[in-house]
């Protein structure tokens, strides 16, 4: 309700990431630290970066975020009643089944970060140095276990022949015996002084190989795909079919494109579209306001020739945002990268 002579204030739109950052900042150091302990490296990095960017957050904004949070959890569970089911549902909804699995085990079963999980917090070059002299199958298991973007960075530290061998092994992995994974965890934990480990059985596969390839620099990705096809043409085609590339944005629904455009900078969008076909450009234009679409068309025409490397970098940055949003359940990616149920 507005005061006399005042204006009605509409609630300001805040992204889920901004809401998390504001909520954590309002909790205080000790409580925020306890929450961050239960988050994976990627989540901590994203929330931490957003917290660092917060400026001039009003009291109204804090109240709005807190109110929305309480509304979201208020009717879902009583304190101490059905807590395990609530935690499982909440984390699965927030992170997706794959990412939430090990985190749920760590929280509910009291486990600590495993040796393999420790690698997720390390720089790509450091991980590459750790596994460089291990058996190729061990290297493939480690690469399969890590997030695809980190795995791609690690592979960039190996020469072409080793990269090809590892990605071929990743694509043929399906399951691994818990004892074998436990043994690998034990080896790594001796180096990191880690705790107990969670069992994992399903790992790797053609889809995982495709996800890793998605994050590789194009100068590495293209020759590797050719090498895979030289060794096994059918496998190369299967991996290629599962890869989500910039052109696949045509298959994302209009609502998803609109959500994505809100997260993408204008400059990156212009560069990315310089290397896209007319069909994709029209898809983007129709999901913008008429005025914004006209300005984008003018900017595209006014922008002179650009380096292919600049276009590829912009496209990969947009795809990274798209994959992050897909992981968070904010959009659904179409095309080859999605499995149809």
Please give the domain boundaries of the chain with CATH numbers for all domains. Answer: 16-75 (no CATH), 115-242 (1.10.220.30), 246-337 (1.10.220.30)
CA 148, 149, 152, 154 dihedral sign is negative
Q: Tell me if 273 sits within 8 A of 284, measured CB to CB.
A: yes
pLDDT for 134: 86
Task: Work out the percent of the chain whose per-residue pLDDT is above 90.
Answer: 11
Give the span between the Cα atoms of 199 and 178, in whole angstroms.
6
Task: Note the pLDDT tens digit of each residue in 58-70.
Answer: 777 877 877 777 6
Q: What pLDDT shows up at residue 80?
A: 45
The SS3 of residue 283 is helix
**232-243 pLDDT, tens digit each:** 988 888 887 777
Q: Are 120 and 40 in contact (CB under 8 A)?
A: yes
- Tell me which of 9-18, 43-52, 253-262, 274-283 is least confident: 9-18
> Model's pTM, two decimal places?
0.47
Q: What is the mean pLDDT of the chain?
A: 76
Within 10 Å of residue 58's Cβ, how many Cβ atoms? 9
Contacts 24+ apart (CB under 8 A), 219-226: 220/155, 220/156, 220/160, 220/163, 223/160, 224/160, 224/163, 224/164, 224/167
Tokens of residue 277, six digits:
């076909």
| pLDDT tens for each residue of 164-187 | 999 999 998 877 777 777 777 777
Sorting pLDDT into bands at 50, 70 and 90, what band is 87? low
């Amino acid at each position: 309700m507005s005061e006399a002579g005042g204006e009605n204030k509409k609630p300001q739109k805040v992204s889920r990431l901004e809401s998390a950052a504001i909520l954590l900042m309002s909790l205080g150091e000790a409580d925020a630290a306890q929450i961050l302990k239960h988050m994976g490296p990627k989540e901590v990095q994203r929330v931490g970066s957003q917290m660092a960017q917060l400026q001039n957050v009003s009291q109204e904004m804090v109240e709005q975020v807190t109110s929305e949070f309480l509304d979201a959890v208020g009717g879902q569970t009583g304190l101490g009643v059905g807590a395990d089911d609530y935690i499982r549902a909440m984390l699965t909804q927030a992170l997706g089944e794959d990412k939430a699995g090990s985190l749920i085990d760590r929280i509910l079963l009291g486990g600590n970060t495993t040796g393999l999980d420790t690698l997720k917090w390390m720089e790509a070059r450091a991980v590459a140095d750790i596994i460089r002299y291990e058996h190729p199958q061990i290297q493939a298991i480690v690469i399969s276990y890590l997030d695809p973007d980190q795995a791609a960075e690690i592979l960039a530290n190996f020469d072409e022949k080793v990269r090809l061998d590892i990605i071929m092994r990743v694509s043929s992995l399906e399951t691994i015996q818990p004892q074998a994974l436990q043994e690998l965890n034990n080896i790594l934990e001796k180096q990191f002084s880690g705790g107990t480990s969670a069992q994992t059985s399903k790992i790797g596969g053609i889809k995982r190989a495709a996800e890793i390839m998605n994050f590789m620099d194009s100068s590495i990705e293209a020759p590797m795909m050719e090498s895979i096809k030289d060794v096994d043409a059918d496998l190369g085609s299967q991996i290629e079919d599962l890869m989500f590339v910039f052109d696949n944005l045509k298959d994302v629904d209009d609502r998803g494109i609109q959500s994505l455009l809100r997260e993408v900078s204008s400059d990156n969008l212009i560069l990315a579209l310089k290397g896209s076909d007319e069909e994709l450009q029209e898809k983007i234009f129709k999901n913008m306001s008429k005025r914004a679409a006209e300005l984008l068309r003018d900017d595209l025409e006014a922008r002179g020739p650009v380096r292919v490397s600049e276009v590829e970098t912009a496209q990969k940055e947009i795809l990274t945002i798209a994959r992050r949003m897909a992981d968070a359940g904010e959009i659904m990616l179409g095309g080859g990268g999605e499995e149809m149920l």
